[in-house]
Structure 1
């Protein structure tokens, strides 16, 4: 029901209007009344009616003054002005304010009801249009996330000027203006699922964190399997640090409710220029690489990851035996990113002890162990170990610490690239499954990225990423184009009404189908059926 509020200073007139119309039977709720605008305004703010009927001449605050306040704060409310003064100046002012109707008193209940019904239809149509726009925005959220990912890449690579970044941010409706910034990388993992599998608990935990992000003016960017990147903004370094502290408290509390979830956080150093964000990002990535080397539920700051050990003569006792662990290399080979190899190797060598690497024998041990670890991993993914070069110890490949690090970095980089190549082949099969599933189920209204991700047992974020990589378009664009293609076939090849075709291609709401068809094809379904060519 549409809500109606009445403002009239003449008691008899107000009672007549209120009591002479059977509001409920005509689809209206009479939600309140007042004798002048001053009393009416706070009541209107509280009950938020769809229509306000107001006299124009009243004591304390007249109808025009009340209309100005309403249109400024609640522009969606439609206003009908009643007056016994047929003066053009009043009508002119009312029209300027956006008043819907300007009616002369006296007016009968039937006449007022007729005017209300005409206005109500306009209101309902506006609401339908708003609902359609909101549904479109929800469905296109995946496209928005992709654009945000692209923007973050520009933000942290230095490939765009600050002016270009600000223009892009404005287009995405992101406020990146601040005095101080910092990048924080966050990953939440489930010990029950593989990293690309769907985990409802991770989704729930991330939803909880969204409230903090919006309240604290923190911008979050999805990084697929690497979790999220958070851009902290503030007026001072201290404000940034306070926001980070509060975030960690929220994160720890949130994860604490899920016993099978763990988290990793890599924190950069605050900077006070947009152009310095790549530096903050690199620091955060270096710290984030520790997640392969340290215990679960950890927070590493960039300055912590860069502490070097004091130099001293090598002795076997100086070796950190807990860090000489091929399991850490194996874990990285399974899930580490290609762009993280250099950081992982640096932190791995630093972890075993800088002074230990001064020993040629110990460097040979580390290099050989890394080679055997890579060989075993390649065989586990059915790739020949001959793909990586074995160290030729006789040629002095581990002559110093740098050469040892370069060799290990090289074979790890090769192994990760081979793993990604194998994954790409596997992903092709998954995308074929997804496309087949869409072809079989496109008529189902609830078909979405989440339902399809669950079907192939992938996380929605990961499926969205690989779908874009493999097809060059987002999942929602592919689904929308597929449905529109089917709709065009039906429009040209059958006599079905647009409302029936809407259901056949997965849209229960015919208004939304028409809106989406025009949005994507540049014309209405009727125009297309009549032979017009799409843009």
Structure 2
């Protein structure tokens, strides 16, 4: 995606360079400008895919620049940034085909989502074929995407060709497929169409909207919205028997279809809160009463202990217990559920990183956060948990490539670390020289013997600090240090914190 930044504050422009670099290498900034006039010239010459622009700027503001871009027929997507939340700015931007309007200070998650939406819109535009222009499918896509206004010309065309009038109502169904969209969309569309064909007296259109991971059904002829809604709830959902979420709303005009989708879509995550096969009906969903969602602090502490102890079976058991805790027959706010997932997963990541899990340390945490907070299905949250468990398991299985000698040496360390066992003693038990064992151990583990046994002792100390209320002297002796002061020094050298500070930070 080739991008031009138009912003009068140089520090903000520099910030975009850094931010886009972190979000991915598919973003290329091909130009920058401090006002709309210069930005327009750059857009004329560079012809970028996207322009990110401020509103208030000298010489020519952002909306005037976008108006000029539109007048000249330049096919450039736009993200408008503004510190002003007045409706007039947003309305003007929407008239210019801007679908992403973000307020300062910028929320990174919102910005990342906006870029992703733009990318999917670009891909959808590229898939267009000249033969489809003028079909009901294409007209609806253009109206929803802001590429066509619902004006008299559009109304006349739709009435003449499809019998759709300006003041008629529409039902919108959103069939959200989530991570299964790519593999399931075509099959789901066929099943959905087959089921809808048995409901007499309706006319409808099914649009595949990739950037929303959904199929959008627009019903433009029907007798009763209430009857149709009941049929969806009590028959259609059971017929589909899928792992998707289904949403329902009604809008009063063709011009309101886009807004109807925008109103309904954020509430699709209520599927996480309900049992299976519940229709998300907007605006009814806004009146749902919820129970207090309590974060399982004790479960988090037990999970940290299991990670420190490298007990994968216990880790999996606790992860399952965490997920099942939100499905106890009560209805919780989906955002609160997702915030609990963020907090729990974050605690798992931090403790795993702390004990040296390299795979977890390399995670793109912002991407993981977006995955959780944008989830609308339980399966999407479960997928995140499964991915974390796989990383924890891989870390435990990484030692499979080690020779029997090194594995036996590590086994002895794990059994006798608290006794002060030495390299010479282990080498003697294995019947080899200390020099050979030290060389082979470093070669296969990447650590010296002394570093490994020190780190193992500290990891066991962390387990005791997190999972017990033992005193410092007791923990020190338990992990093989007779002097608590020396133990505290070693612990700080390894972790950067004293034992008491470490215990406090995790509790």
TM-score (norm 2): 0.32
Which structure is larger by alpha-carbon Rg, 1 or 2? 1
Q: Taking CA–CA contacts closer than 8 Å with sequence separation of 6 or more, which of the two structures ends up with the larger relative contact order?
A: 1
TM-score w.r.t. the length of structure 1 is 0.30
